[in-house]
Amino acid sequence: MRKFDVIVVGSGAGLEIASYAAEHNLSAALIEEGPLGGTCLNRGCIPSKMLIHAGDVAEIIKSSGKFGIKSKIEGIDFASIVKRVSDVVDTDSAGIEKAVRKSLNPILYKIRSKFIGPRQMQVGSEQIEADKVFIVGGSRPAIPAIPGLEDTPFLDSTKALRLTGQPKYLVIIGGGYIAAELAHFYGALGTKITILVRSDRMLDNEDDEIADWFTREFSKKYQILFNTEAETVSYRNNKFSIKLRGSSQILESDQLLVATGRVSNTDILDVKKTGVKMDKKGYIKVNEYLQTNVEGIWAFGDIIGILPFRHAANDQALFAIRNGFTDQKIAFDPFAIGHAIFSSPQIGGVGKTEQELKKERVKYKVGRAYLKDTGMGGALQEDGLAKVLSDEKRNILGVHIIGPDATILIHEAIVAMKANGTVNAVANSVYVHPALPEWLQNAFFDVK
């Protein structure tokens, strides 16, 4: 059995660990079944946001009339849009692999591998072990057990980013952020969209007011069937047939996208062989130092089910390095790590939602501001909501924004929260007038 100082499972944020080990003359093995760079680069945030920007451009052109500008889209070269994005992603991933192989440390094992012991793995025909193991194996699309679905060429979030032909009609199962973003991309380019949502609104994980606002606005663009589930799915003559539960209605579409969440890759990696504890959903349990219950094994990223964002995993990697290789342990702090949804309208959020504060019986105050009431709102001819939650001492507990550039504006709140700033830190600042950030500042002003 070949012995390494460090084994890293996953080449997304896990690359930080492998690079640190190599730079400090520790032998490292890097395990990665797919293209290097992880979910974000190859099948997540990078390709999706590049594609979504094309949708943003199309939407701007379509809305130019309200500014007195007559314009139209002459055509959509869908294959070219997708090829450009795929080429960029594939080039970057290949570049990472070339650099790793050239360095000779870490040693890259580009093959599906499984654990066979606490710090031991079977990689192809070879067995390896290490004193330290970092499991950064990520997650994959969760596929519901809908009769007939597995026998059809349905799309998941990965395949939807590589589709070379634009569908005329796309049905989406799911009401989360992936459904929202991909509906915007395809819909803005002209695809007819129908979304099947199990609950009575989309984006249930967002603040209630934000989710309601988004659902209302998105319903103006696309057909959304609430409290609706697919009972069966079939595929014949290049058409999907989706029978709705409790109804005689059958939807027929060119493509079917299943966007019903994600599931941990711990089963594929056979993590149970390590003795590491997992929750009911298969996510690895870690303490505040990102350590598992098994000595010498750390885990972070999507596979632990906490803040499943690449920026969170990048941050966790720094803590994992400190806690795994030095005597100065520092607890990972999830406070003020925000998120964004790059749909239309956009959403940005950080901290607690109002429903979470109610459930936790925390006393709080609310400030709200509407984009339409600002100078820039008039220029953009758009509306949106900025919402601030604070405690009675005016410490910021959460900020939630829906509207133009919400994915950018939320960073002002993130910086303020991370710096232990209060509502006053933003409210008392002098903002450029009539810049868009005044809208967010007005929400801080409004905290009673």
What CATH number is given to the structural domain containing 195?
Answer: 3.50.50.60
Tell me the mean pLDDT in the region 11-25.
97
Do 10 and 123 share a structural domain? yes
Q: How far apart are CA 311 and CA 337, in angstroms?
A: 8
**What digits encode the pLDDT tens for the residues 147-183?**
999 999 999 999 999 999 999 999 999 999 999 999 9
Do 206 and 178 share a structural domain? yes
We report the CATH number of the domain holding residue 413 as 3.30.390.30
Tell me the mean pLDDT in the region 91-97.
97
Do 301 and 268 share a structural domain? yes
Written as one string, the DSSP assignment of 390-436 is: E-TT-BEEEEEEESTTHHHHHHHHHHHHHTT-BHHHHHTS---TT-T
pLDDT, residue 101, reads 95
Asked if 196 and 260 count as a contact pair (C-beta separation under 8 A), the reply is no
Do 49 and 170 share a structural domain? no
Please work out, in degrees rounded to the nearest 5, the angle formed at the alpha carbon of residue 72 by the alpha carbons of 68 and 74: 165
Q: How far apart are CA 355 and CA 362, in angstroms?
A: 10
**What digits encode the pLDDT tens for the residues 354-409?**
999 999 999 999 999 999 999 999 999 999 999 999 999 999 999 999 999 999 99
Q: Write out the H or E segment, with its range, that includes residue 101.
A: helix 78-103
Q: How far apart are CA 392 and CA 381, in angstroms?
A: 35
Do 117 and 29 share a structural domain? yes
Where is the domain boundary, 325, 359, 374? Answer: 325
Q: How confident is the model at residue 102 (pLDDT cuts 50, 70, 90)?
A: very high
Q: Write out the H or E segment, with its range, that includes residue 157.
A: helix 157-160
Where is the domain boundary, 230, 260, 290? Answer: 260
Which structural domain, as residue segments, surrounds residue 392?
345-445
Q: Could you tell me the pTM of the whole model?
A: 0.96
Do 219 and 275 share a structural domain? no
Count the helix, strand and coil residues of the chain and give each as a percent rounded to the nearest 5: 35, 25, 40
Asked whether residue 448 carries a pLDDT value surpassing 90, the answer given is: no
By C-alpha distance, which of 254, 233, 235, 237 is closest to 245? 233
β-pairing, 113-117 vs 126-135, is unpaired
Percentage of the chain modeled with pLDDT above 70 = 100
Q: What are phi and psi of 439, to 5 degrees?
A: -60, -50
By C-alpha distance, which of 382, 377, 388, 383 is closest to 436? 377
In a domain, 390, yes or no: yes
- End-to-end Cα separation, the chain, in angstroms: 65
Tell me the mean pLDDT in the region 33-54.
95
The strand pairing partners of 239, in sequence order, are: 236
Half-sphere exposure of 414 (CA within 13 A, CB side): 16
By C-alpha distance, which of 225, 231, 257, 263 is closest to 148? 231
Do 270 and 365 share a structural domain? no
**What digits encode the pLDDT tens for the residues 211-270?**
999 999 999 999 999 999 999 999 999 999 999 999 999 999 999 999 999 999 999 999
Mean predicted lDDT score pLDDT of the chain? 97
Q: Write out the H or E segment, with its range, that includes residue 225.
A: strand 223-225
Q: What are phi and psi of 81, to 5 degrees?
A: -60, -50
In a domain, 377, yes or no: yes
Do 436 and 355 share a structural domain? yes
In a domain, 334, yes or no: no
The DSSP secondary-structure symbol of 215 reads H
Where is the domain boundary, 217, 241, 260? Answer: 260
Q: How many domains does the chain have?
A: 3
Do 30 and 134 share a structural domain? yes
Tell me the mean pLDDT in the region 80-99.
97
Do 311 and 210 share a structural domain? no
